[in-house]
Amino acid sequence: MKKVILEAQQLLRETGVENPRVEVTKDPRYGEVSSSVAFELAKKLKKPPLEIAEEIVSRIDFSRANVITVAEVAKPGYINFKINWKLFAQDILDDVLKNGRAYGFPNIGAGKHVLIEHTSVNPNKALHIGHARNTCLGDTLYRLFKRLGYSVVIANYIDDSGNQMADLHIAFKKLGYSLSPPKGERFDEYCGRIYAEVNKIIENNADLLQEKRRVIAELENVGSETFKFNREIVDLVLKDQLSTCWRLGARYDILNRESDVLAFNLWSEVFESLKERGLVYYAEEGPKKGCWLISLSEHPVLSKEGDEVLVKSDGTTTYVARDIAYAAWKLGILRRDFKYNRWGKNPDGSYILITEMDGKVSFPIGKASLVVNVIDSRQKRPQAIVKYAVEKLGGGGGSYIHFAYEVVSLSKRDAEKLGISTGGRFVQMSGREGIYINVEPVINLLKERAKEEILKRHRDWSREKIEDVSEKIAVATIRYELLKSDAEKMIIFDSEEASKLEGDTGPYLLYSYVRAARILEKASIKEFTTTPYNEELEEAEKNLIRKIAYMPLIMEEVANLLLIKRIASYANELAKMFNDFYEKCPVIGSKENIMQFRLALVKAFKQVFENVCSVLGLPLPEEM
């Protein structure tokens, strides 16, 4: 499709039009691509767009075209280009079958470096369904940028400081909670339950509140026993959290502990830079006396809510302060750096590094051309402050992106199952309040329902095969559910709706892929031809080929605009086009020349669909 756009632009340039804009048409009945150049010239030439468009078309020399056959003028002045479908179809299918896994991914990232932070769940609880949205969004961005040729580093920020960790410390050290969870309960789930219980106890106890303030301060003291004990808890929680993330298909390069932002003196370097530039000040009086604040008076929006505290009167830093230091590190504007040790391995065998004061491994990230931070929309103001600060420090704020997404809320039905009064509406999840659905039980539920469906159809399958396919269906179901909506729209998660295996779901996509695999498996001939059997193809064939041709444009568009929903929508549209083709254009049993071409089209679809699903992280079974 990009070749068609370039050809149309060249034909227009040869008529004397400079820098003509050509786009894919919204309605293919009017052609494959269209130009609105006549509207742009109308004011300059003082002529109606329709007259200008007709003059331009009259000057086009189609003998110099390859695939474009005609240009037509449509009111009130559009120029629509139509193509030779026989040549176009063969060109697309040849391109797909020749390039295979590489099709659809223009190498636009060569020599460019991207750092993506995602997941970043506080290490005091298991991942709930809202956290899974973060992980799936971030992992999809990683997969996309990687396939487009970028060098990509994935960071998981481990927020091991502050209130939530202090609560767990008090639970284990002061309130008699055992470090060993009850049988059958994972450690991350256990900590999440403790956190919800203990938080309420501490809030109503003056002595424990005083102890909590002491613990928070000790968490920033590298040599303290509190600091060391905290790391033991964090490591145990991390092991469980990442096992869930791996199950969702994610991987990581580095785990950066928030406490190490202080321990490696990243904050102290940034603090001095902020002071030197006059961006922070010490409050001598008023309600924030004794605090260091960043001045936001020059910011047109942030200034309306006042300046932000970075260092409290007791000398401890706020999370915004630590985030500014971490962002400056990401953008490569600090002298100091982290040291790492190996923490473990991803399922793909690659090592995961974690920050350690006695680390033996260096992992210089270089200067990223783009830093993407997948953080929920409730952090809009703190993230805006971080971006403002790093811009003032010379970090090029334009390359620091807050990829905001809305939260996942519980449906009324799910909330009531937990005994929560809803007032007739959905309920937002909160680890602090103990209101959430953990990811693992949801995946297990989806998996069990998939097993039930499989056993109805394939009683001869081995246990291993049933386990494998049902796991793929479960993961595809939850990932697609969390990716198919606009990131900036809240998802009201309902476990029963998400468990369905039909409709606009991950399993529907998987079924389309399996259907293509079965056609190719059943075919009596294995020789394909990409040459169409006729000058005029069936409309369902054209629609599928056209949709396949869109893929490179869509992947480049999403990389530029970070609109992940566009990929999910494309996958769904592609599946629908294929199923429509399947219903209207028989493959097996048709005339040999027709069958050969349609088998090539099925093979091309299967490859393209596999490529798209690899970005969405949907695991594909060959049978269902």
- Tell me, yes or no, whether 152 lies in a domain: yes
84, 75, 94: which is closest to 31 by C-alpha? Answer: 84
Q: Which of 339-348, 395-404, 412-421, 504-513 has the lowest mean pLDDT?
A: 412-421
Is the pLDDT higher at 445 or at 324?
324
Determine whether 612 is exposed, middle or buried from the number of CB atoms within 10 Å of its CB (0-12, 13-18, 19+): buried
pLDDT per residue as tens digits for the range 607-623? 999 999 999 999 999 99
Q: Which of 74-83, 123-132, 212-221, 236-245 has the lowest mean pLDDT?
A: 212-221
What is the per-residue pLDDT for 418? Answer: 66
What is the per-residue pLDDT for 501? Answer: 65
Q: CA–CA separation, 515 vs 140, rounded Å?
A: 25
Tell me the one-letter amino acid at 51. Answer: E
- Tell me, yes or no, whether 214 lies in a domain: yes
* Domain shared by 122 and 16, yes or no: no
Q: What percent of the chain has pLDDT over 70?
A: 98
Q: Which of 198-212, 219-233, 276-290 has the highest mean pLDDT?
A: 276-290
Domain at 38, CATH number: 3.30.1360.70
Is 90 exceeded by the pLDDT of residue 112? yes
Is the pLDDT higher at 63 or at 500?
63
The two structure tokens encoding residue 453: 């469906």
pLDDT per residue as tens digits for the range 531-555? 999 888 999 999 999 999 999 999 9
pLDDT band at 291 (very low <50, low <70, confident <90, very high): very high
- Tell me, yes or no, whether 283 lies in a domain: no
Tell me how many domains the chain contains: 4
Give the list of residues 6+ apart from residue 29 with CB closer than 8 angstroms, or none. Answer: none
End-to-end CA distance of the chain: 33
Give the mean pLDDT of the chain.
Answer: 93
pLDDT per residue as tens digits for the range 332-386? 999 999 999 999 999 999 999 999 999 999 999 878 889 999 999 999 999 999 9
- Tell me, yes or no, whether 485 lies in a domain: yes
Is 70 exceeded by the pLDDT of residue 558? yes
* Domain shared by 211 and 244, yes or no: yes
411, 409, 416, 414: which is closest to 430 by C-alpha? Answer: 409
φ, ψ (nearest 5 deg) of residue 550: -75, -20
What is the domain extent for residue 495? 435-499
**Of 499, 531, 546, which closes a domain?**
499
Is 90 exceeded by the pLDDT of residue 416? no
Question: Half-sphere exposure (CA, 13 Å, Cβ side) for 507?
Answer: 21
* Domain shared by 490 and 559, yes or no: no
What is the per-residue pLDDT for 536? Answer: 87
- Tell me, yes or no, whether 73 lies in a domain: yes
pLDDT per residue as tens digits for the range 593-609? 999 999 999 999 999 99
Domain at 193, CATH number: 3.40.50.620
**Of 499, 515, 549, which closes a domain?**
499
Determine whether 419 is exposed, middle or buried from the number of CB atoms within 10 Å of its CB (0-12, 13-18, 19+): exposed
* Domain shared by 463 and 515, yes or no: no
* Domain shared by 249 and 351, yes or no: yes
* Domain shared by 471 and 592, yes or no: no
pLDDT band at 397 (very low <50, low <70, confident <90, very high): low
* Domain shared by 462 and 511, yes or no: no
Mean pLDDT of 429-434: 72
* Domain shared by 473 and 593, yes or no: no
- Tell me, yes or no, whether 460 lies in a domain: yes
pLDDT band at 276 (very low <50, low <70, confident <90, very high): very high
- Tell me, yes or no, whether 448 lies in a domain: yes
The two structure tokens encoding residue 611: 């490529």
* Domain shared by 61 and 172, yes or no: no
Determine whether 243 is exposed, middle or buried from the number of CB atoms within 10 Å of its CB (0-12, 13-18, 19+): middle
pLDDT per residue as tens digits for the range 480-494? 999 999 999 999 888
Domain at 581, CATH number: 1.10.730.10
* Domain shared by 479 and 539, yes or no: no
Is 90 exceeded by the pLDDT of residue 124? yes
Is 70 exceeded by the pLDDT of residue 422? no
Whole-angstrom CA distances from 417 to 126, 408, 427, 534 are: 19, 17, 12, 59
* Domain shared by 455 and 515, yes or no: no
What is the per-residue pLDDT for 525? Answer: 81
Largest CA distance in the chain: 88
* Domain shared by 207 and 243, yes or no: yes
- Tell me, yes or no, whether 406 lies in a domain: no
| pTM, to two decimals | 0.93
What is the per-residue pLDDT for 435? Answer: 75
Secondary structure of residue 83 in the 3-state scheme: strand
